[in-house]
Amino acid sequence: MDAVPPPSLPDPFALVSDQLRPLDELLSDLVGSEHPVLTRVAQQFFDLSGKRFRSTLVLLAAMAANGGRPGNAQQQQLAEITEMIHAASLLHDDVIDMTDTRRGAKSAHRIYGNKVAVLAGDFLLARASVLLSRLNDTRVVELQATAIEEMVQGEVMQLKASPQELLQMDHYVNKTYRKTAALMSLACQASAKLGGCEPKVEAALQAYGRHLGIAYQVVDDLLDFTGPSDTLGTTLGLPALSHLKQGLATAPTLFAADEFPEVGAMVQRRFGEEGDVAAVSRLVAASDGLPRTRELATNHAAQAAAALGVLPPSAARDALLRLCFDVLNRKA
């Protein structure tokens, strides 16, 4: 049975919902009415960023670092900036990967073309820079810019891995940190910095974000093999196998390669031969790859939870703890 959040832990999204500005207000601040095309693209991507997970995370980190009291205006601004950087990375990822769909919707570059997707991403990054600079804290600008660099370097690691690196679990985890977890980790750290926390609190929130982000992505990689399911575990669709189809080995495949050497050979040729994707999918299912991947995610979630230990007790700390279980519980 999967980990289930104890009902006594508060809902992370409910706890900060009154600190998240309404989306239309945020968008109108962001792009004004001058550029309806950019507004539409931004709107679409804020919609797709769903629950504004990263904003929620930054606001909870601010509260937890502050003994449970709501974050200050700077921290609330940081929450919006972090979501903007995430949206920009989605826009640029779509151009990069030639993805046809994102969460079922047509991806922006198919609707508007590469042109507008690259421009809208650049626009969001530039606007994020302006807003960051107004926070008047150089260290915070540096943390957020470092997060963007990590995301880029993670993409490059993925693109340019040598055949040997493709088989290394360390390489996979490092890439996963950079692509997904770095923004969460460094935004949590920046949030603590803006609250004037002591260094050990800042370090704890950075570690929390890092491990939570890795767990989040590892579960994503697992779902790519198992397919979406409802809360009772009933399968709702076919596994996407999108990473295999892109030539990418993730945790389930790497664990399977421990048991089946032929998987390793297929990883190193990026599943480039006829039948490779189906064969790997079958061998992963026959191996301990899926349970070992779940264990990997669970261990990172546990490390995230452990990092919270230095924070004073508060509803916000409990909500951060609950996220450690919620990420393991994702069904789609």
Q: How far is the CB of 56 from a copy of itself (least distance, A)?
A: 24
Residue from 155, 202, 221, 224 binding a copy of itself (CB under 8 A): 155
Minimum Å gap between C-beta 88 and a copy of itself is: 8
Cβ neighbours around 153 below 10 Å, total = 15
Residue 154 makes CB contacts below 8 A (sequence gap 6+) with 175, 176, 177, 178, 179, 180, 182
Q: Does 129 bind a copy of itself (CB under 8 A)?
A: yes
Length of the chain counted residue by residue: 332
Q: Among the residues of the chain, which ranges form H helices?
A: 12-16, 23-31, 36-48, 53-65, 73-97, 108-134, 138-160, 163-166, 169-176, 182-194, 199-226, 242-245, 251-259, 261-268, 276-286, 289-307, 315-328
Q: What character string, x for contact with a copy of itself (CB under 8 A) and - otherwise, covers 91-120?
A: -x--xxxx---------------xxx-xx-
Cα(36)–Cα(41) distance, integer angstroms:
9
Site for a copy of itself in 300-319 (CB under 8 A): none
Signed CA dihedral, 112, 114, 120, 123: sign only: negative
- Evaluate whether 59 touches 75 at the Cβ level (below 8 Å): yes
Whose tokens are 């977890």? That residue is 181
Contacts of 5 (CB under 8 A, 6+ apart): 322, 325, 326, 329
In angstroms, give the least distance from the CB of 62 to a copy of itself: 21
Quote the least distance from Cβ 36 to a copy of itself, whole Å. 8
Regarding 38 and contact with a copy of itself (CB under 8 A), the answer is yes
Residue 101's beta-bridge partner residues?
A: 106
Residue 105, SS3 per DSSP: strand
For the bound state, the minimum distance from the C-beta of residue 108 to a copy of itself, rounded and expressed in Å, comes to 13
Q: How many residues touch a copy of itself (CB under 8 A)?
A: 41
User: Considering the complex, what minimum distance in angstroms separates the CB of residue 257 from a copy of itself?
Assistant: 26
Q: Which of residues 132-151 bind a copy of itself (CB under 8 A)?
A: 132-134, 136, 138, 141-142, 144-146, 148-149, 151
Q: Does residue 255 interact with a copy of itself by CB under 8 A?
A: no
The answer to the question of residue 127 lying near a copy of itself (CB under 8 A) is yes
Question: Does residue number 1 form part of the binding site for a copy of itself (CB under 8 A)?
Answer: no
CA-only gyration radius of the chain, Å = 20
Q: Which of these segments, 60-68, 129-137, 236-244, 254-262, binds a copy of itself (CB under 8 A)?
A: 129-137
**Contacts with a copy of itself, residue ranges (CB under 8 A):** 34-35, 37-38, 92, 95-98, 114-116, 118-119, 121-123, 125-127, 129-130, 132-134, 136, 138, 141-142, 144-146, 148-149, 151-153, 155-156, 159-160
